[in-house]
Amino acid sequence: MGALARATAARPEAAHQASAYGIAERGGPLVALEVPRRAALPDDVVIDIEFCGLCHSDVHSGRGEWGARQLPLVPGHEIVGRVAAVGAEVTGFTVGERVGVGCLVDSCRECDSCKEGLEQFCERGGVGTYSAIDHRTGEYTQGGYSSSIVVNQGYVLHVPESLDPAAAAPLLCAGITTYSPLRHFGARPGSGVGVVGLGGLGHMAVKLAKALGASVTVFTTSASKVEAARALGADTVVVSGDPEAMASARHTLDLIIDTVAAAHDLDPYFATLRRDGTLVQLGLPAEPMPPVNPRPLLGRRLRYTGSPIGGIAETQEMLDFCAEHAVAAEIEVVDAAGLNAAWDRMVAGDVRYRFVLDVSTLPAPAAPAPHVPAPAAPAE
């Protein structure tokens, strides 16, 4: 609480320095630093952050694995907190309300996708919550491993009070990334949904598919995860290296949510789909995938597709759905000093199933003056 209160105590709507953890040097660890937060524009919501989930994307971005990024870089796009202040034109958000921010803090609002509420497909490119240039302000965006954030009201979500705020944080990326394709491709009572991989995304896919009424089959490479998958609600667990088990799943599924981010052969999974079944890929392997065999696609009119996060309206729908069905992430809360170790454990797959940063453990800003000018962008 202390760090948050100090960061935005005097005039939360004024420009201020937020305490944060981020990457300050190329190849370096996460370190304590401060980032400037703009004075609230008339349609901005100022949020005191309580919790922020740790996503694999944070590591890829922070460690330069998706290309060199401007530094310092404060990751985090699974943000839950409370409204500290609102701009004069904000409607629908009140001070003190619990809110969330996911992977987008803006988009063009004019293209066909934005007009349809599908901001994740913005044709000019949505503005990422961190490591992106904000079209409107020209700022370099900094994410949720920080004490506060200022976001346009159109990209802020209502987080129902009945959800635990720490366990709700991962819904803002892992939750919507799995909910969106489950809904779009028709997971419903009577349908068979397969989930490949049981990490941050996979465990949310199991819970959400069950809550949508589907029968869920989890595919895992590891026999040690069978009990864990059942504990999450899986009806059937198949160890993918067991040919007999894979054969028993043949032609039983309508939809597969594939969360594996390493290259892998899809043929064994196509074999488990019924006619008109769909395999949705959510993981983005760094290396090329084995070629897709068109024979099962033709033979049973299968679809092979992918899906990124979700739009703002659908993210709100997902949060409300999770509140209604008491669905949230399985989490391990870490403090700021444990962030680097948590990243290493996440890369090693050693977490059930999502780390969440307790933002109150961030060190307070050294000089919490309300009008500190933004530092010049580092030369890149």
Contact pick of 79, 105, 114, 282 for Zn ion (by CB under 5 A): 114
32 versus 108: smaller Cβ distance to Zn ion: 108
20 versus 55: smaller Cβ distance to Zn ion: 55
Binding mask 292-331 for Zn ion (x = CB under 5 A): ----------------------------------------
Contact pick of 3, 20, 33, 55 for Zn ion (by CB under 5 A): 55
Dist. CA 307–CA 34, nearest whole Å: 34
Pick the stretch among 171-179, 211-219, 278-286, 345-353 that binds Zn ion (CB under 5 A).
171-179
Pick the stretch among 102-110, 192-200, 216-224, 318-326 that binds Zn ion (CB under 5 A).
102-110
Q: How far is the CB of 173 from Zn ion (least distance, A)?
A: 3
149 versus 273: smaller Cβ distance to Zn ion: 149
Identify residue 326 by its one-letter amino acid code.
A
Q: How far is the CB of 128 from Zn ion (least distance, A)?
A: 10
72 versus 75: smaller Cβ distance to Zn ion: 75
Should residue 111 be labelled a site residue for Zn ion when binding is judged by CB under 5 A?
Answer: yes
Pick the stretch among 99-107, 186-194, 240-248, 291-299 that binds Zn ion (CB under 5 A).
99-107
Pick the stretch among 112-120, 266-274, 284-292, 332-340 that binds Zn ion (CB under 5 A).
112-120
Contact pick of 46, 52, 83, 122 for Zn ion (by CB under 5 A): 122
- Residues that bind Zn ion (rule: CB under 5 A) add up to a total of 8
Contact pick of 17, 107, 129, 272 for Zn ion (by CB under 5 A): 107
126 versus 277: smaller Cβ distance to Zn ion: 126
Look up residue 52 and give its two tokens.
């922020």
Q: How far is the CB of 53 from Zn ion (least distance, A)?
A: 8
CB-CB contact of 310 with 321 (8 Å): no
11 versus 109: smaller Cβ distance to Zn ion: 109
3-state per-residue secondary structure call for the chain: CHHHHHHHCCCCCCCEEEEEEEECCCCCCEEEEEEEECCCCCCEEEEEEEEEECCHHHHHHHCCECECCCCCECCCCCEEEEEEEECCCCCCCCCCCEEEECCEEECCCCCHHHHCCCHHHCCCCCEECCCCECCCCCCECCCCCECEEEEEHHHCEECCCCCCHHHHHHHHCHHHHHHHHHHHCCCCCCCEEEEECCCHHHHHHHHHHHHCCCEEEEEECCHHHHHHHHHHCCCEEEECCCHHHHHHCCCCEEEEEECCCCCCCCHHHHCCEEEEEEEEECCCCCCCCCCCCHHHHHHHCCEEEECCCCCHHHHHHHHHHHHHHCCCCCEEEECHHHHHHHHHHHHCCCCCCEEEEEHHHCCCCCCCCCCCCCCCCCCC
Contact pick of 8, 17, 57, 278 for Zn ion (by CB under 5 A): 57
Dist. CA 98–CA 296, nearest whole Å: 47
Binding mask 126-165 for Zn ion (x = CB under 5 A): ----------------------------------------
173 versus 322: smaller Cβ distance to Zn ion: 173
Pick the stretch among 106-114, 145-153, 238-246, 328-336 that binds Zn ion (CB under 5 A).
106-114
Burial 264-287 (b: 16+ CB within 10 A, else e): bebebbbebbeeebbbbbbbeeee
Pick the stretch among 21-29, 50-58, 91-99, 358-366 that binds Zn ion (CB under 5 A).
50-58
Q: How far is the CB of 240 from Zn ion (least distance, A)?
A: 25
Pick the stretch among 19-27, 67-75, 167-175, 269-277 that binds Zn ion (CB under 5 A).
167-175
Which residues are within 8 A (CB) of 84 and not within 5 positions of it... i.e. 6 or more apart?
Answer: 8, 12, 46, 47, 48, 95, 148
Contacting positions for Zn ion (CB under 5 A): 55, 57, 107-108, 111, 114, 122, 173
